[in-house]
Structure 1
Amino acid sequence: MDLRQTVLEAKDICKSFYDNLVLDHVNFSCTSGEIHTLVGENGAGKSTLMRIFSGVYQPTSGELYLNGKPVKFTGTLQAQQAGVSIIHQEFNLVPHMSIAENIFLGRQLRKKGGNLDFPAMRRRTEELSRMMRMELEPDAPVCSLTVAQQQMVEIMKAIELDTQIIIMDEPTAALTPVEVSSLFAAMRRLRDEGRTIIYISHRLNEVFDISDRITVLKDGVMAATLRTEETTKDEVVSLMVGRKLDNIFPPRDEAAAGEVRLQAEGLVIAPGKGPASFSVRAGEILGVTGLEGQGQRELLRALFGLHRLAAGKIFIDGQEVRIRSTREAMAHGVTFLTDDRKNEGLCLDLPIYRNISLPVFRRLKTGPFLTVQAERQETQRYMELMNIKAESSAKLVRKLSGGNQQKVLLGKCLSPAPKVLLVHEPTRGIDVAAKIEIYTLLKKLAREEQVAVVMLSSDLMEVLNVSDRILVVYGGGISGELAAADATEESVMRLATGVAKEAAV
C-alpha cells in the first residue's frame, strides 16, 4: 500500500503571454518521497509550469495546491518560505563571491552577538560538498569554478534551503558522468528522507535511471503521466514528438573525406600535459571525448584562440597559422560553438537577427551603414535552415526556448561560412526533436558543404553515433583514435581512463 501523500497539485493551469497560450489546462501532481520527471520538447511549457510552481510566474487561470491547501505564490521568496525551491537551468550565482557566501546569501548564519558566523558557514559548505561527493574549497570564488562545479553549487544551495519540494531544471546538463552519479545518489537520499524532487531533463537514459514517474508535456498540454517501470523510452519519445521515432541519430554513412582541412602538431595546453597531434578532413565529423579535466576543453578552445598554448603548431589547408585570438581564428575560417551559450555565445538581450549577423556585419554594410533590412535578410535563411521557432527574427533571444537559442548560436557560427566548425556540447539542454535537427544539420554541413567538423561532447552515445572518427583525450594528449563505426562505449572508456592505447586508424 502506497502511503505517500500528494504534496503539490496543479488543476487546470493555463498560462498565456499576450495572445500566446503556453499552458492549456494542465493537471499535474507529485507526492512525498518521489522523484517525478517532466519531459517534453523545447517550447512544450515545462519551464513555464515549473516557474508557476516556484512563484516566478502566476497562472492566467487554474488552481495550485500545496499539501491540500490552495496557494498563490507572488514571488520566489514566498514559494521558498512555503517549501518550494527551484534550480534554474541558467545559474543564479554571484561570480566574485565565495562558494559559502553564495550558498548562504540572504540567510547568513550569525553568532549570538549578531556577527556573521563564517566558520559555521564554511563547515556547512564542506558538509554539503561531501554529500555531493565533491571536493570544493568553501572560500573559492565561484568565478574560478568550472561550469560543472558551478552547477553543483546551485544544487548545494537548494539543498541547504531544506525545502519540501526541489525543482531541478536540467541540473545535469553541465555535469560529467561521475558528477551525475553523485547528484543522483544525493537525490535518492533526499527522496528517501521524504522530500519531493521535480526533475526536468531531455536525457532519457537519466530519466529512466532516476525517476519514479514521468509526465510528458506536448505543446502546452499534458500528454500522459506514466510510472517509469511501466513504460519505455520509445513510448515517451513518441508522446513527446507526437510520432514514432526509430532512431534519433542520422543513418551512418561513409564520409567522402577531402583534403586535410585542419592539422594540429604537438599541441601542449600546459607544461607537462600532452602533446596532442591530430587532423580533420573536409567533409568529416571528428568526435572528441574524454573524462572531465583531461584537457579536451582546452584543446578545442586553443583552436579558436581562447586558450594559450605552451607549444605546438596549427595548420589550415596545409599552411601554418597563428591563432592567438578569436579574430585570428575567424580570419582563417574557424568558428566555435561554445558550451556556455548564455555567457559566451549569445547576446541574450539582442534580437535573433543581430546575433546571427554579428560575425559578418562588415560584409553586410552598405558604405559606412549597416541596415536592419540587410541583417534580417541574412538571418532569414538561417532561421529556415535551423527551423528556429519564433514569430520573427526581431524576437529577443532571451525569450526563446533553450533549443531555439542553441539553433541561433549555431546559425551565428555558420554565417561566416567556416572551413572548420568547432562544436562543444552541441545538444546540451535541448529536446529530442531539436537534437535530431542538429545532428542532421552537422552531417549535412560536413557531407554537402565540405566543412570540417570537430565535435567535443561528454555524451558518449552522441560521439559514437554522429562522428566518423573519435579522438580520446587523456592527460592533455591523445590516448587513442577509433573509427566510430567500430568503437564501443567500453573501448572509449578504456582509452579515457588510460587503461589502453590504440594505434591511429
Structure 2
Amino acid sequence: MDLRQTVLEAKDICKSFYDNLVLDHVNFSCTSGEIHTLVGENGAGKSTLMRIFSGVYQPTSGELYLNGKPVKFTGTLQAQQAGVSIIHQEFNLVPHMSIAENIFLGRQLRKKGGNLDFPAMRRRTEELSRMMRMELEPDAPVCSLTVAQQQMVEIMKAIELDTQIIIMDEPTAALTPVEVSSLFAAMRRLRDEGRTIIYISHRLNEVFDISDRITVLKDGVMAATLRTEETTKDEVVSLMVGRKLDNIFPPRDEAAAGEVRLQAEGLVIAPGKGPASFSVRAGEILGVTGLEGQGQRELLRALFGLHRLAAGKIFIDGQEVRIRSTREAMAHGVTFLTDDRKNEGLCLDLPIYRNISLPVFRRLKTGPFLTVQAERQETQRYMELMNIKAESSAKLVRKLSGGNQQKVLLGKCLSPAPKVLLVHEPTRGIDVAAKIEIYTLLKKLAREEQVAVVMVSSDLMEVLNVSDRILVVYGGGISGELAAADATEESVMRLATGVAKEAAV
C-alpha cells in the first residue's frame, strides 16, 4: 500500500494566451517522496504548466491545491514561501557575482549583529558542491563557469531554498553523463528525505532511470500518467507524438565517404593540452564526445575561428588554411551550429527569413539593396526542407518552439552551402519528433550533399547511433577512435575517462 500523500494537485487547469489555448483542462498530481517526470513534444504545454505551479503564470481557469488546500500564486516568491521552487531551462544567475552570492541572493545569511555572514555562506556553498560531487570555488564568479557548472549552481540554489517541491526543467541538457549521475544521486537523496521533484526532460533513457511516475502531455491535453515500471519507452513516445515510432535514430548505413574534406594536424587548444589530429571526409558524420571540460568544445570552436589555438594546422580539401575568425571559416566553406542557440545562434526578435538569410545577404542583394522578397524566397526552401512549423517566414523566432528554433539555426548554417558543417549538441532541449527530423537531416546532408559533418555531443546514444566514426577527447587530445557500428557506451566511457586507449580504426 502506498502511504505517500498528495502534495500538489491541479484540477481542470486551462491556460490561454489571447486566442491560443495552451493547456486544456489538465489534471495532474504528485505525491511526497516522488520523482514525477513530465514529458511531451515542444509546445505540448509542459513549461506553461510548471510556470503555473511556480507562480510565474496564473491559470485562465481551474484550481491548484497544495497539501489539500486551494492556493493561488501571484508570483514566484509567494510560491517559494509556500514550498514550491523551479529551476528554469534559462538560467537565472547574475554573471559577475560569485557562486555563493548567487545561491544566497535575496536571502543572505547574517550574523547576530545583522552583518552578512560570508564565511557561513561559503561553507554552505562548499557543502552543496560536495553534495553535487563538484569542486566549485564559492568565490568564483558565475561568468567564469561552463554552462554545465552554471546548471549545477542553479540546482544548488533550488536545494538551498529547502522547498517541499522542486521543479526541474531540462536540468541535464548541458550535463555530461558523470554530472547527470551526480545530479540523479542528489535527486534520489532528496526524494528519500520526502521531497517531491517534478522533472521535465526529453531524454527518455534518463526519464526511465530516475522517474517513479511519468505524465505525458500532448497538445496541451493530458495524455496519460503511468508508473515507470509498468510502461515502455515505445509507449511513452507513441503517446507524445500521437503515433507509433519504429526508431528514433535513422537506419545505419555504410558511408560512401569521398575525399578528405577537413584535416586537423596537431591542434593544441592550450599549452599542455593535446595535441589532437583527425580528419573527416565528404559524406561522413564524425562524432566527437568526451567528459565536460576535456577540450572537445574548444576543438570544434577552433575550427570555426572562435577559439585561438596554441599550435596546429588545418587543411580544407588538402590546402592549408588559416582560420582566425568566423569570416575566414565561412570563406573556406565551414559553418557552425552552436550549442547556445539563444545567446549565440539566433536573433530571437527577428523573423525566420532574416535569421536564415543573414549569412548570405550579400548574395541576395540587387545592387546596393536587399529586398524582403529575396530573403523570403531564400528561406522558403529551408522551411520546407526542415519542416519548420510556422504560419510564415515572417514569424519572430522568439515565438517558435525549441525544436523549430533549432531547425531555423540549422537552416542558417546551411544557407551558405557549406563543405564542412560543425554541430555542437544538435538536439539539446528539443523533443523526440524534432530530434528525429534533425538526425534525418544530418544524414541526408552527409549522404546526398556530400557535406562533411563534425558533431560534438554529450548524448552517448546520439553519438553511437548517428555517427559513422567516433573520436573520444581526453585532456585536449584524442584518446581513441572507434567505428560507430562496433562502439558501445562502455568502450566510449573507458576512453573518455582515460582508462583505455584504442588504436585508430
Q: Fold conserved (TM > 0.5)? A: yes
Residue deviations 1:63-121 (CA, integer Å, cap 9, x gap): 11111111121221221121111101111111111111111111112222222221111
CA distance in 1, matches of 2:70, 2:493: 51
Residue deviations 1:231-251 (CA, integer Å, cap 9, x gap): 111111111111111211101
CA distance in 1, matches of 2:500, 2:186: 32
- SS of residue matched to 1:65: strand
- SS of residue matched to 2:410: helix
CA distance in 2, matches of 1:476, 1:154: 27
CA distance in 2, matches of 1:370, 1:111: 63
Alpha-carbon shift at residue 328 of structure 1 (Å): 0.9
Residue deviations 1:191-231 (CA, integer Å, cap 9, x gap): 11111110000111111111110000111111100011111
CA distance in 2, matches of 1:55, 1:376: 39
The range that moved more, 288-297 or 322-331, is: 288-297
Alpha-carbon shift at residue 273 of structure 1 (Å): 1.3
CA distance in 1, matches of 2:381, 2:76: 40
Residue deviations 1:252-276 (CA, integer Å, cap 9, x gap): 1111111111111111111121111
CA distance in 1, matches of 2:380, 2:74: 39
CA distance in 2, matches of 1:122, 1:9: 37
Residue deviations 1:30-65 (CA, integer Å, cap 9, x gap): 111111000011111111111111111111111111
CA distance in 2, matches of 1:160, 1:396: 37
- SS of residue matched to 1:421: strand
CA distance in 2, matches of 1:420, 1:379: 21
CA distance in 1, matches of 2:86, 2:227: 23
CA distance in 1, matches of 2:131, 2:480: 35
Alpha-carbon shift at residue 293 of structure 1 (Å): 1.8
- SS of residue matched to 1:16: strand
CA distance in 2, matches of 1:390, 1:18: 18
Alpha-carbon shift at residue 393 of structure 1 (Å): 2.2
- SS of residue matched to 1:2: coil
The range that moved more, 465-474 or 375-384, is: 375-384
Alpha-carbon shift at residue 125 of structure 1 (Å): 0.9
Is residue 152 from structure 1 mapped to residue 152 from structure 2 by the alignment?
yes
CA distance in 2, matches of 1:161, 1:404: 34
Alpha-carbon shift at residue 345 of structure 1 (Å): 1.3
The range that moved more, 134-143 or 12-21, is: 12-21
- SS of residue matched to 1:427: coil
Residue deviations 1:290-320 (CA, integer Å, cap 9, x gap): 1222211111111011111111100111111
Alpha-carbon shift at residue 394 of structure 1 (Å): 2.4
Alpha-carbon shift at residue 350 of structure 1 (Å): 2.1
Alpha-carbon shift at residue 26 of structure 1 (Å): 0.8
Is residue 161 from structure 1 mapped to residue 161 from structure 2 by the alignment?
yes
The range that moved more, 116-125 or 319-328, is: 116-125
Alpha-carbon shift at residue 504 of structure 1 (Å): 1.8
> How do 1:30-429 and structure 2 match up within 5 A?
30-429=30-429
CA distance in 2, matches of 1:65, 1:127: 33
Alpha-carbon shift at residue 340 of structure 1 (Å): 1.4
CA distance in 2, matches of 1:37, 1:114: 41
CA distance in 1, matches of 2:357, 2:78: 42
Residue deviations 1:411-467 (CA, integer Å, cap 9, x gap): 111111111000011111111111100000000000111110001111111111111
Alpha-carbon shift at residue 402 of structure 1 (Å): 1.6
Name the residue aligned to 1:8: 8
CA distance in 2, matches of 1:322, 1:334: 12
CA distance in 1, matches of 2:349, 2:129: 34
CA distance in 1, matches of 2:364, 2:113: 64
Coordinate RMSD, CA, aligned: 1.2
The range that moved more, 340-349 or 3-12, is: 340-349
The range that moved more, 484-493 or 43-52, is: 484-493
Name the residue aligned to 1:29: 29
CA distance in 2, matches of 1:396, 1:51: 22
Alpha-carbon shift at residue 2 of structure 1 (Å): 1.6
Alpha-carbon shift at residue 486 of structure 1 (Å): 1.6
CA distance in 2, matches of 1:34, 1:259: 54
CA distance in 2, matches of 1:366, 1:58: 49
Alpha-carbon shift at residue 484 of structure 1 (Å): 1.2
The range that moved more, 105-114 or 450-459, is: 105-114
Alpha-carbon shift at residue 491 of structure 1 (Å): 2.1
CA distance in 2, matches of 1:57, 1:375: 36
Alpha-carbon shift at residue 160 of structure 1 (Å): 1.0
Alpha-carbon shift at residue 367 of structure 1 (Å): 2.2
- SS of residue matched to 2:64: strand
The range that moved more, 71-80 or 453-462, is: 71-80
Alpha-carbon shift at residue 334 of structure 1 (Å): 0.6
Alpha-carbon shift at residue 494 of structure 1 (Å): 2.3
- SS of residue matched to 1:185: helix
Alpha-carbon shift at residue 371 of structure 1 (Å): 2.4
CA distance in 2, matches of 1:494, 1:386: 36
CA distance in 1, matches of 2:322, 2:46: 45
CA distance in 2, matches of 1:500, 1:117: 47
Residue deviations 1:9-43 (CA, integer Å, cap 9, x gap): 11111112222211111110111111100001111
Residue deviations 1:354-398 (CA, integer Å, cap 9, x gap): 222221122222222222222222222222222122222222222
CA distance in 1, matches of 2:126, 2:497: 28
CA distance in 1, matches of 2:491, 2:83: 46
CA distance in 1, matches of 2:138, 2:116: 15
Alpha-carbon shift at residue 501 of structure 1 (Å): 2.2
CA distance in 2, matches of 1:400, 1:113: 51
- Runs ≥4 residues deviating over 6 A: none
CA distance in 2, matches of 1:399, 1:52: 19
**TM score, norm. by length of structure 2:** 0.98
The range that moved more, 415-424 or 60-69, is: 60-69
**Any gaps of 5 or more consecutive residues in structure 1?**
none
Alpha-carbon shift at residue 407 of structure 1 (Å): 1.2
Alpha-carbon shift at residue 500 of structure 1 (Å): 2.5
CA distance in 2, matches of 1:105, 1:147: 20
CA distance in 2, matches of 1:371, 1:54: 45
The range that moved more, 63-72 or 35-44, is: 63-72
**Any gaps of 5 or more consecutive residues in structure 2?**
none
Identity among equivalent pairs (%): 100
- SS of residue matched to 1:120: helix
